[in-house]
Amino acid sequence: MRNLQTHRLIKERLLQEDVWKVVTLIDGQPELDVCLPVGPLLVPISVWKAKKDCLIHREYEHGTPLGIWLSPDDDPAEIAKDVDDFTVIAVHFPKFTDGRGYSTARLLRERYGYDGELRAFGDIGRDQIFFLNRVGFDSFLIGEGRNAEEALAAFDDFPEAYQAGADLPIPLFRRRAA
C-alpha cells in the first residue's frame, strides 16, 4: 500500500490536501490478505470484489469514506451496480500515452450515472487536464516530478469548447443560439 503525496491534488480547480490512501497489491498477494488501514481508502477493483462486505461495513458503520480505483484493463461495467457506494472513483493512467481512462470516465458519467468525485491519477500532466475534465474527471493527482501549480492553468487553455462533453453537455453552437 502507498499513500500518494498530498500537495499535488487538484480538486474543484484548487490545490487541495489528499487524504486518500491508495491500496495496491504486491505481486501474487491474494486480495483477501490485504490489510486495510484506517482512513479513506481507494482500493483496486479486485480488492473490492474480495472484501466488498467488509468495505461497505467500514463505510456505513464507521463513516469511513470508500473509493475504488480502476486500471486501464478494468471494465467499468463491473462496478456499474455499485457506483453509489463510492465517494471517489479513481482511474489510473500508468503512462501519459495510455488513453483508455478517457473512455472509462465517459462510461462512468454517461452510461452508469456516476456523479461523485472522478479522479485521474498516475502519469498525469498539464497538457491532459483540460481534456480529462471534458470527459468527466473533476480531480487530478499530478504525476511525479510535474508542477501542480502550473497544471492549474490548463483549465484556461481553451476559452471555448465547440463539442459537447461531460463538462458542457450542450455544444457551443446550441448554447449561443439559445
Interacting residues of 75 by C-beta distance below 8 A, sequence separation 6+ = none
DSSP 27: T
Residue 127 falls within a domain, yes or no? yes
Cα 81 to chain centroid distance, Å, stands at 17
Q: What is the pLDDT of residue 4?
A: 40
* pTM: predicted TM-score of the whole model, two decimal places: 0.86
Residue 1 falls within a domain, yes or no? no
What are 55's three cell numbers?
468495505
Residue 42 falls within a domain, yes or no? yes
Count of structural domains, the chain: 1
Query: What is the mean pLDDT for each group of 10 consecutive residues in the chain (178 residues)?
Result: 56 91 86 86 95 89 91 96 96 92 96 97 90 94 85 79 62 56
Q: What is the pLDDT of residue 168?
A: 58
**Contact (Cβ atoms closer than 8 angstroms) between residue 144 and residue 155:** no
Structural domain for 139, as ranges? 6-177
Q: What is the pLDDT of residue 87?
A: 96
**Contact (Cβ atoms closer than 8 angstroms) between residue 89 and residue 118:** yes
Residue 87 falls within a domain, yes or no? yes
Order of strands across the sheet that contains 66-70: 14-16, 9-11, 139-141, 117-122, 88-93, 66-70, 41-44, 21-22
